Structure 1
Amino acid sequence: MDPKPHFETLARYNRWANRRLYEAAASLSDAQFREDRGAFFGSLRGTLNHILVADRVWLERIEGYGPKPSSLDEILHDDFAGLRAAREAEDERLLRVVASIPVDRFDSTLSYRSMAGTSHELPFGQILTHVFNHQTHHRGQAHTLVSQFGLDAPSVDFVYFLLNPQ
């Protein structure tokens, strides 16, 4: 089985889910966006920045170039509008990266160094799975934060994307 179409679908789903979440979050005030709600990265601002940080870390490892954040809690964009624009750009980058991966790379090994400098080697296809799973994990936290402010957080389940992938 060629895994590429599966990962291309996950990249499109990822963009779809992020757009839906950011659309809901756009209704929050700046104070709400920044408010520490006790989440792993504190606020919605911290959580959404972390997702972007992790994507940049992994895509730099995969591509061998690109932005390389210095810590997992780095605030890349302090304001919502800047963060939203960066998220859109990173989702498009992820789509391009997945589209450019040769089929034989999915069965290869990715060698990389952790942010602490430790060397690792893991199956490339599983690393790419992690990239999408990591976003889903933290997007769920962000979804909860949006809900805590009384907003209708949109459904971002994969099956709803499959039923209506616009």
Structure 2
Amino acid sequence: MDPKPHFETLARYNRWANRRLYDAAAQLSDAQFREDRGAFFGSTCGTLNHILVADRVWLERIEGSGPKPSSLDEILHDDFAALRAAREAEDERILRVVAATPAERFESVLSYRSMAGAPYELPFAQILTHVFNHQTHHRGQAHTLLGQFGLATPVLDFVYFLLESK
């Protein structure tokens, strides 16, 4: 099986799910957006920033260039509108990176350094799987936070993306 079309589908799903989540999050007041609700990254602001931080960390490792956050809890954008614009741009970047990845790279090993500087090597396709899985994990946390504020939370299941994409 050629893995590239699968990862291109995941990249499109990722953008779809993020747009739906951000549409719901846009209903939060600024105070709610920043309120520490005891989530792993505290607030909706912290959680959504963490997803963006992790994407930038991994894409810098994959591409060898680009923004390189200094910590996993860094707040890249304290303002919702700026964060949303950055998320949209990053999702487009992910789509471009996957589209530009040569087929043979999916069978390669990615050598990288952790944020602490430790060297690692893992299969490239598994790293890319992690990037999408990581977003799904933390989108679920943000989804819960939105529900705690009484917002109607969007359906984010992959199967609904597939049904809408037919």
Q: Secondary structure at the match of 1:121?
A: strand
Q: Secondary structure at the match of 1:122?
A: strand
Deviation at 1:129, TM superposition (A): 0.2
Q: Give ranges in structure 2 of 5+ residues lacking alignment.
A: none
Cα pair 1:15 1:91 within 8 Å, conserved: yes
Q: Match for residue 20 of structure 1? A: 20
Q: Match for residue 140 of structure 1? A: 140
Pair 1:110-2:129 in alignment: no
Q: Secondary structure at the match of 1:147?
A: helix
Cα pair 1:13 1:165 within 8 Å, conserved: no
Deviation at 1:165, TM superposition (A): 2.8
Deviation at 1:152, TM superposition (A): 0.5
Cα offsets for 1:48-94 (capped at 9, x unmatched): 00000000000000000000000000000000000000000000000
Letter in 1 for 2:90: E
Cα offsets for 1:110-133 (capped at 9, x unmatched): 000000110000000000000000
Distance, in Å, in 2 between the alignment partners of 1:19 and 1:146 is 14
Normalised to the residue count of structure 1, the TM-score between the two structures is 0.99
Equivalences for 1:46-57 in 2 at 5 Å? Answer: 46-57=46-57
Distance, in Å, in 2 between the alignment partners of 1:122 and 1:15 is 25
Distance, in Å, in 1 between the alignment partners of 2:140 and 2:72 is 18
Normalised to the residue count of structure 2, the TM-score between the two structures is 0.99
Q: Secondary structure at the match of 2:165?
A: coil
Q: Give ranges in structure 1 of 5+ residues lacking alignment.
A: none
Q: Match for residue 128 of structure 2? A: 128
Q: Match for residue 68 of structure 1? A: 68
**What stretches of structure 1 move > 6 A for 4+ residues in a row?**
none
Q: Secondary structure at the match of 1:164?
A: helix
Distance, in Å, in 1 between the alignment partners of 2:129 and 2:89 is 20
Distance, in Å, in 2 between the alignment partners of 1:20 and 1:69 is 25
Q: Match for residue 7 of structure 1? A: 7
